[in-house]
Structure 1
Amino acid sequence: MDKIAMIGGGSWATALTKILSENGAQVGWWLRSKDDVQHLRTTRHNPRYLSSVAFDLSRVHPSTNLADVVEEADWLVLAVPAAFVRSALDKLDRDALRGKRIISAIKGMIPKENVLVTDYVTERFRLPQSRMGVVAGPCHAEEVALEKQSYLTIGGPDLVLAEDFSRMLRNRYVKAYPMDDLDGIEYCAVMKNIIALTCGIAHGLGYGDNFQAVLVSNAVQEIRRFLHAISPVTRDLSGSAYLGDLLVTAYSQFSRNRTFGNMIGRGYSVKSAQMEMNMVAEGYYAVRSIYELNRELQVSMPITTAAYHILYERISPAVELEILKEKLR
């Protein structure tokens, strides 16, 4: 029987717990809030996210004790916002993950340090990269809750690990496939949030579908240039793990990054947009991380640069989009 430690209480953690537990896995589910844990134990529902999903408590075991949840598991699934990874995992002993297989379901980077989540975990816990994998879409947690047909890609250097976790996810409405590109999938997952956020800004300013199509087309080229500079291996970015994930995040009503950007385009400040959403838009932090990494790489990245100017240098979204649109083709 598969034993999994789910780290995080958000919508994606909730969706993955639903899939894995309904497929027969035992899931120890770490949540930060004691009240949320008690609510789950009493009602079988997460009170904050995807609250329509009911869990079988013979397979799902909510807890606020991270060390216990991790100790009991063979697999660790990380599903907290990237900004909170350190505060959660740094409490663990450096040998706590020895022998375990780790899956990151996080679409962001460690802020300030500008490193991928998998790179942080391998360094912090002295693990070989072959023990790591990442989950890529295109897949929104809300559609998983509704049991809409969804596709997932599990990326990692060890295809056996990737296939094993893919098997644990497959059911009548989820198809999952392994892939051996860890860095490419993880960087694309980070960058697609930047693009979705910028698409939201454009929408908030009144730009239409024609402009967004051009914006996304240029974004694919921008992502390709960046990946070639930072991880120069051959990869087909037209695959669903890359382009598909970008498209669903850029266009979907469920995309929190697009929603956040739309609010910025309509005149919200960053702080007021964050407070009203009451959810983390990973793209906000990703913009700074990718922009700072690119200071050394010097890749042409006009979309990321525009987003950085708007979010961190407080340049008017209308002014910055006027500049950006002259750089797109």
Structure 2
Amino acid sequence: MHGEPKIAIIGSGSWATALAKILLNNVEHINWYFRNTDNIDQFKRFGHNPNYLRGVEFDINRITFFDNLDQIIEESDLLVLAIPSAFLHDSLKEVTVDMSHKFIVSAVKGIVPHGNQIVGSYLHETFKVPYDRVGVIAGPCHAEEVALERLSYLTIASPDIKRAADFANLLECEYIRAHVSDDIFGTEYASVLKNIVAIASGIVHGLRYGDNFQAVLVANAIQEIKRFVDKVHPISRDIKSSAYLGDLLVTTYSQFSRNRTFGAMIGKGYTTRTAQIEMHMVAEGYYATKSIHEINEEFKVKMPICEAVYSILYENVPPSVGIRQLTEKLR
């Protein structure tokens, strides 16, 4: 890419909006895909996303809106995917143009249930995107704190460190620090697993367990994540770094964590369906729980926290029973 790359954000939720805000600190213009044309019209009229982070104002002259995926892909060099993983396959199956020569950065933080694949593997197998043209944005970073311009750190992972570094430079600003990694598999799986742990954290909060047990839960969770990512993709990595441990901590403890909020509702007696409806947002961990359970049928990693969440969400085990059984397995 020569000069400023043409960047496309594909997705219209809170994280997509936060990334648009960050990128416009450093690039003059972005392309932005919204599936709903009414939302585009409202955005142009009021100068902000009508549904998410409405306090963030944009100069709409620096944004070209699209409602056609083929068109935005053809007119962009770098694609930032920010569609919830549960809807990614259905959203992208209408794409007919070649994406294999683009640099595609996943900001999805979930598993594509269609085939139980992390986004990097899904892009590689479905759209023939080489792994060195795949990037991953890892936290710890909540969209709401980006909107408030609170200092946050991101990790950009890609097998092509040069591309990762170039994209990281586009994110650096007064309130964002961005670092690079070559671990796209570990960072993606860790991002998926921390959402499941956050649901567990919410459930135990809803059941009125205290901070002491929360600490034990998270201490065991980072070990569980390490066992899984080391089995699935065995490379040298520091599981205590921000992209893994930091992302886990913020997702399990933050007031902005939708997965923790979802879990707390389950712990208080809501059904999964009712909790999803009342949140008005997607808790990625709900779908990830089933996918990880199915993936682990092959790898057989010891994962008591993920299995406890699976039993509660998908096997109708009462939360109080599922967590009580879990307490016997933690150290």
How far is 1:26 from its partner? 2.0
Letter in 2 for 1:2: P
Indicate yes or no: 2:141 matched with 1:142: no
Match of 1:93 among 87, 96, 105: 96
**Whole-Å Cα distance in 1 between the matches of residues 329 and 148 of structure 2?**
40
Letter in 2 for 1:10: G
**Whole-Å Cα distance in 2 between the matches of residues 114 and 89 of structure 1?**
16
Aligned residues: 328
SS of corresponding position for 2:246: helix
**Which residue does 1:49 correspond to in 2?**
52
Letter in 2 for 1:293: I
- Runs of 4+ aligned residues of structure 1 deviating over 4 Å after TM superposition are none
Is the 1:3–1:27 contact (alpha carbons within 8 Å) kept by the matching residues of 2?
yes
Match of 1:287 among 286, 289, 293: 289
Is the 2:5–2:77 contact (alpha carbons within 8 Å) kept by the matching residues of 1?
yes
**Which residue does 2:191 correspond to in 1?**
189
How far is 1:94 from its partner? 5.1
**Whole-Å Cα distance in 2 between the matches of residues 151 and 272 of structure 1?**
34
**Which residue does 1:315 correspond to in 2?**
317
Letter in 1 for 2:74: E
**Which residue does 1:13 correspond to in 2?**
16
**Whole-Å Cα distance in 2 between the matches of residues 133 and 174 of structure 1?**
18
Match of 1:176 among 175, 178, 181: 178
**Whole-Å Cα distance in 1 between the matches of residues 207 and 132 of structure 2?**
44
How far is 1:25 from its partner? 4.1
**Which residue does 1:118 correspond to in 2?**
120
**Whole-Å Cα distance in 1 between the matches of residues 190 and 218 of structure 2?**
13
219-228 vs 132-141, which deviates more? 219-228
Indicate yes or no: 2:249 matched with 1:247: yes
**Which residue does 1:26 correspond to in 2?**
29
**Whole-Å Cα distance in 2 between the matches of residues 123 and 5 of structure 1?**
22
How far is 1:98 from its partner? 3.4
**Whole-Å Cα distance in 2 between the matches of residues 154 and 302 of structure 1?**
29
**Whole-Å Cα distance in 2 between the matches of residues 61 and 88 of structure 1?**
20
SS of corresponding position for 1:102: strand
- Cα shift readout 1:163-194 (whole Å, capped 9, x = no counterpart): 01100000011000111111010000000000
**Which residue does 2:41 correspond to in 1?**
38
Is the 1:12–1:141 contact (alpha carbons within 8 Å) kept by the matching residues of 2?
yes
How far is 1:122 from its partner? 1.3
How far is 1:112 from its partner? 4.4
Is the 2:89–2:114 contact (alpha carbons within 8 Å) kept by the matching residues of 1?
no
Mark the runs of 5 or more structure 2 residues left unpaired by the alignment.
none
- Cα shift readout 1:23-75 (whole Å, capped 9, x = no counterpart): 22421110111111101111111011000111111221222122221111110
What is the 5 A alignment of 1:123-272?
Answer: 123-272=125-274
**Whole-Å Cα distance in 1 between the matches of residues 28 and 202 of structure 2?**
37
SS of corresponding position for 1:22: coil
**Whole-Å Cα distance in 2 between the matches of residues 112 and 219 of structure 1?**
26
Letter in 2 for 1:320: G
Indicate yes or no: 2:84 matched with 1:81: yes
**Whole-Å Cα distance in 2 between the matches of residues 98 and 291 of structure 1?**
30
Is the 1:41–1:62 contact (alpha carbons within 8 Å) kept by the matching residues of 2?
no
**Whole-Å Cα distance in 2 between the matches of residues 45 and 61 of structure 1?**
14
Is the 1:21–1:60 contact (alpha carbons within 8 Å) kept by the matching residues of 2?
no
**Whole-Å Cα distance in 1 between the matches of residues 27 and 113 of structure 2?**
35
Distance 1:8 1:199, change over 3 A: same
Distance 1:31 1:40, change over 3 A: same
SS of corresponding position for 1:29: strand
* RMSD after superposition: 0.9
Is the 1:94–1:125 contact (alpha carbons within 8 Å) kept by the matching residues of 2?
no
